[in-house]
């Protein structure tokens, strides 16, 4: 394990740990993708009531599924549509029109049965506006449970919160600490979401001693922010400084009160490099990124979708996480 030590500022962690992964990329060609799709009445509503009244959440969900499948011709798929109860597995061409009420709790036993009976699934993609008919407590416990089942069955969990009024926090419970969590409220962002989903399907994971899962990235390294120095300490370069800042920002991304301190952290970390030109590049880049985060929080206010929306926006703009 290697570490890069960063300046202490406020309560932020001060160590970026990383390790080279020697594991070969798992071959998922020929494996299946399981979409767990919300098919309830609320999915028939417009994805965004202010700008895109022509397109329902259900239409957007189906377009996302079709694009994912078009980019993965070697992967078959099944779709479990749920409302009052889960449907038999179907294909994208057979998805029914939205109807009925939203119950997540019946998914627990049904998903476990499907994944137990067929070990050829590599990914489970949970797609919903996250607005339950049953109590929020029961619904969120069920969503957490199906996420845990997905992980236990060695599948990558991906959550997609759909619609401007989507409960992104509930959807994120499915992804948990090992998976991708996406949010879409404009039809025009389908391509971005599809790319993010494909990253989640292909992602490898390592589990740390504390049980936290860390995504192994394209450079075959995994990175995490901590407050404990482990192993060899190496000198920070521009790449590792930017990686550290990205991970810390993602950790506190939904807390607008942290923005001033995050700006100070950028200033501190940029000065770890003597080159004034690179210092300015780091400051300029992250000033712009934090402005995106601030605007996203303001636009979404304190709505349930804020967590997903801000993370989605930042992931797209940062180009690194």
Given this model, what pLDDT does residue 51 score? 64
Please say whether the beta carbons of 19 and 2 come within 8 A. yes
Given this model, what pLDDT does residue 309 score? 60
Q: What is the percentage of the chain residues whose pLDDT exceeds 70? A: 89
**pLDDT surpassing 90 at residue 20:** no
Given this model, what pLDDT does residue 137 score? 93
Burial of 142 per CB tally in 10 Å (0-12, 13-18, 19+): buried
Three-class SS state of 107: helix
pLDDT, one tens digit per residue, over 296-317 is 766 655 454 555 566 666 776 6
Please say whether the beta carbons of 13 and 227 come within 8 A. yes
Given this model, what pLDDT does residue 299 score? 64
Torsion of CA 55, 60, 62, 66, to 10 degrees: 120
Torsion of CA 170, 172, 175, 181, to 10 degrees: 140
pLDDT, one tens digit per residue, over 172-224 is 889 887 788 888 888 888 998 898 898 888 887 777 777 777 777 767 788 88
Mean of the pLDDT values across residues 223-252? 89
Given this model, what pLDDT does residue 276 score? 95
**Token code pair at residue 239:** 């790449």
Could you tell me the residue ranges of all domains in the chain? Answer: 2-20+228-318, 32-205
Q: Where are the alpha helices (DSSP H) in the chain?
A: 57-70, 107-117, 136-152, 168-175, 190-202, 238-251, 259-270, 276-300, 306-318
- Report the C-alpha gap between 6 and 241 in whole angstroms: 8
Mean of the pLDDT values across residues 143-170? 90
Candidates 288, 284, 282, 291; CA nearest to 242 is 282
Given this model, what pLDDT does residue 7 score? 81
pLDDT, one tens digit per residue, over 22-75 is 665 567 878 999 999 999 999 999 998 776 667 899 999 999 999 999 999 999
Q: Please list, residue by residue across 66-95, b when 16 or more beta carbons sit within 10 angstroms of its beta carbon and e when fewer do.
A: ebbbeebeebebbbbbbbeebbebbebeeb
**Token code pair at residue 289:** 């990124």
Please say whether the beta carbons of 68 and 127 come within 8 A. no
**Token code pair at residue 38:** 């919300």
For the chain, helix, strand, coil in percent to 5 are 45, 20, 35
**Token code pair at residue 88:** 């038999």
Pairing of strands 46-48, 52-56: antiparallel
Given this model, what pLDDT does residue 145 score? 96
pLDDT, one tens digit per residue, over 59-115 is 999 999 999 999 999 999 999 999 999 999 999 999 999 999 999 999 999 999 999
Q: Which bin fits 155, alpha (ψ -120 to 50), beta or left (φ > 0)?
A: beta
What size, in residues, is the chain? Answer: 321
Please say whether the beta carbons of 230 and 3 come within 8 A. yes
Place of tokens 């920070």: 236
Q: Please list, residue by residue across 209-244, b when 16 or more beta carbons sit within 10 angstroms of its beta carbon and e when fewer do.
A: eeeebbbbbeeeebbbbeeeeeeeeeebeeebbbbb
Given this model, what pLDDT does residue 22 score? 63
Given this model, what pLDDT does residue 115 score? 96
Q: How many CB atoms lie within 10 A of CB 9?
A: 15
pTM metric for this prediction: 0.78
**CATH topology assigned to domain 32-205:** Rossmann fold (3.40.50)
């Amino acid at each position: 394990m290697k570490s890069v030590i960063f300046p202490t500022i406020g309560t932020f962690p001060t160590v970026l740990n990383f390790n080279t992964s020697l594991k070969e990329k798992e071959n998922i060609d020929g494996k299946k993708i399981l979409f767990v799709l919300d098919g309830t009445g609320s999915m028939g509503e417009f994805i965004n009531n202010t700008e895109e009244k022509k397109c329902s959440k259900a239409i957007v969900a189906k377009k996302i599924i079709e694009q994912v499948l078009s980019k993965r011709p070697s992967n078959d798929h099944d779709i479990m549509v749920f409302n009052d109860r889960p449907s038999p597995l179907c294909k994208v061409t057979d998805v029914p029109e939205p109807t009925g009420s939203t119950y997540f709790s019946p998914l627990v036993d049904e998903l476990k049965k499907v994944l137990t009976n067929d070990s050829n699934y590599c990914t489970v993609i949970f797609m919903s506006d996250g607005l339950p008919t049953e109590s929020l407590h029961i619904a969120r416990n069920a969503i957490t449970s199906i996420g845990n089942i997905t992980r236990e069955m060695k599948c990558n969990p991906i959550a997609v919160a759909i619609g401007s009024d989507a409960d992104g926090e509930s959807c994120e419970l499915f992804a948990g600490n090992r998976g991708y969590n996406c949010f879409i409220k404009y039809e025009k962002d389908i391509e971005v979401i599809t790319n993010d989903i494909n990253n989640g399907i292909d992602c490898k994971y390592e589990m740390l001693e504390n049980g936290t899962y860390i995504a192994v990235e394209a450079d075959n390294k995994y990175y995490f922010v901590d407050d404990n120095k482990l192993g060899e300490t190496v000198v920070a370069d521009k790449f590792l400084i930017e990686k550290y800042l990205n991970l810390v920002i993602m950790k506190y991304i939904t807390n607008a009160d942290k923005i001033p301190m995050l700006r100070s952290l950028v200033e501190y970390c940029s000065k770890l490099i003597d080159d004034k030109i690179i210092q300015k590049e780091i400051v300029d880049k992250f000033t712009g990124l934090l402005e995106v985060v601030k605007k996203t929080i303001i636009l979404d206010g304190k709505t349930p979708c804020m967590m997903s929306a801000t993370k989605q926006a930042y992931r797209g703009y940062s180009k690194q996480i």
